[in-house]
Structure 1
């Protein structure tokens, strides 16, 4: 894996995208707390702490060409690929009107951008990803398939079956597992290496560092496009529930030691190390993001017949 620093332009873009994801995520949590969604917030899964893992990988996807199979927390993936906040809010509000769909609101789908809807059983989307990649290989199409999952599926039989089939057939597929860790900087995740099949490239990546995620995903996609087979990226991160009273822009939690696990703060420090951090710029993008998301939220509430 390369460690060459990213350009300021790319880092600034990644920071802005992560910030935007956090503002949208916070707005969804506020919708749930105010009772617009289901009664106990069932099915509302925050992506806070996942922003670097999701945005840093999704910007590498060729939208409309590659196939993406997200999992239910992948709000940052959906926004990065092109789903708008208005569309996301409408999806949540429509599902809230139909109790029978309440468990499906995170089964993301965006057909026009080759996003495949995930099933309810966990891990099966990885088998679907391997199948799509197999079809792409048979067609000799210059297509990569990117499948996301959470750490809860690594013990599922479908997880290893997908990895084994992809490795055996040397398929152009990348599996990204977002691991919620006690200490992501220490990569304290189960050692699954003995279970992995030959022919599978495997890397553990600091999922708090958007630069590392971006570089690892770029390398994995190039590896796949070159016909060298599948890659599993285990992205270590720390998930914390959102603080809805702070507009989603504070630290992950009041404890100062958790600041090290906040992807936004980590990216800010990278920019500061390059001498490129600008407080006024950061304030401007926060203001723009908050304004855009608020307009989208109000439009969605109006569209779906809710009064504010």
Structure 2
């Protein structure tokens, strides 16, 4: 089945809202990197360059109805679905007081989870969330629920056996599930690119420009509607260009792309952007300050741990 855009284009108000969400994601990501560089946490998987793919798709999900299974880079997904910057920072800091960061300089994965919004905590083994999503979608189908399971993964997941197994089971059972693969377009990641011939029959596939927030939103919205209508599973391969905080913004940077769209519609002003950036930065800095304070208060005293024989 061919997946085409039938949904109306985003309004200026919606586009501005999505830009705001992407900017928030970028700022939180930057401050997480600062925590890492200062030695307060030992692991960060940046989502820079993924913002449009994450925010544009998550904005179509119905929190507390649909089931979302993010992967460790999906900061934009968890923020869009309702996690606050404070909760994000606490998630990072909870297991990484400064002395532990020194003792354990690396961490295998970031476990996102927000159960009140049906966000399922990610597993450690790569791509196993694909099978979990298929299982959840199977339960939704048996219950005749309108819920859809949405599973995210990165480029490395496509090489794992669980990836193809989950897609095959979902296709055979025509399950209400949407798989979103955030595919890095760097030369090193080309080996993980998908080809329609390698995918199971019964699975609808579409390659999407992951830097274009309008395209991401439109195709995700259409895919979820088809999944809810019983049309079977859908795989969206979203092409992104992963960046780093110390790199200059690329031409295909999602925020720059969205800015050009707003400029073309006459909806961009420097004063609006400056005020938005100042407000969001103040909110993120306050959230980080609160998270650091609460983490210090919740950290057990080393002497008390010693006396308890820990």
Query: Residue 5 of structure 1: CA displacement?
Result: 3.3
| Cα distance in structure 1, aligned partners of 2:40 and 2:170 | 42
Query: Residue 107 of structure 1: CA displacement?
Result: 1.0
**Structure-to-structure mapping, 1:229-240, within 5 angstroms:** 229-240=232-243
- 1:122 aligns with one of 123, 126, 144: 126
Query: Residue 272 of structure 1: CA displacement?
Result: 1.1
Residues 155, 193 of structure 2: 8 Å contact kept: no
Query: Residue 105 of structure 1: CA displacement?
Result: 5.7
Q: 5+ residue gaps in structure 1?
A: 244-252
Question: Which residue does 2:178 correspond to in 1?
Answer: 174
Q: What is the TM-score of this pair, normalised by structure 1?
A: 0.89
Decide which structure has the larger Cα Rg and report it. 2
**Structure-to-structure mapping, 1:154-173, within 5 angstroms:** 154-173=158-177
- 2:38 equivalent to 1:47: no
- 1:192 aligns with one of 191, 195, 220: 195
The alignment partner of 1:265 has SS state of helix
| Cα distance in structure 2, aligned partners of 1:66 and 1:94 | 27
The alignment partner of 1:17 has SS state of helix
- 1:266 aligns with one of 235, 257, 260: 257
Query: Residue 118 of structure 1: CA displacement?
Result: 1.2
Question: Which residue does 2:19 correspond to in 1?
Answer: 15
Question: Which residue does 1:247 correspond to in 2?
Answer: none
Q: 5+ residue gaps in structure 2?
A: 298-310
- Cα deviations across residues 141-160 of structure 1 (Å, max 9, x unaligned)? 11011100000011111111
The alignment partner of 1:103 has SS state of coil
| Cα distance in structure 1, aligned partners of 2:109 and 2:194 | 32
- 2:150 equivalent to 1:146: yes
Question: Which residue does 2:75 correspond to in 1?
Answer: 75
Query: Residue 189 of structure 1: CA displacement?
Result: 6.5
- Cα deviations across residues 122-150 of structure 1 (Å, max 9, x unaligned)? 01000000000000000001101110000
Question: Which residue does 1:276 correspond to in 2?
Answer: 267
- 1:202 aligns with one of 174, 195, 205: 205
The alignment partner of 1:261 has SS state of coil
Residues 9, 218 of structure 2: 8 Å contact kept: no
- 2:244 aligns with one of 241, 244, 249: 241
Question: Which residue does 1:223 correspond to in 2?
Answer: 226
The alignment partner of 2:107 has SS state of helix
The alignment partner of 1:142 has SS state of coil
Residues 179, 237 of structure 1: 8 Å contact kept: yes
Query: Residue 242 of structure 1: CA displacement?
Result: 1.1
| Cα distance in structure 2, aligned partners of 1:282 and 1:289 | 10
- 2:142 equivalent to 1:113: no
Question: What count of residue pairs does the alignment treat as equivalent?
Answer: 287
Query: Residue 103 of structure 1: CA displacement?
Result: 2.9
The alignment partner of 1:176 has SS state of strand
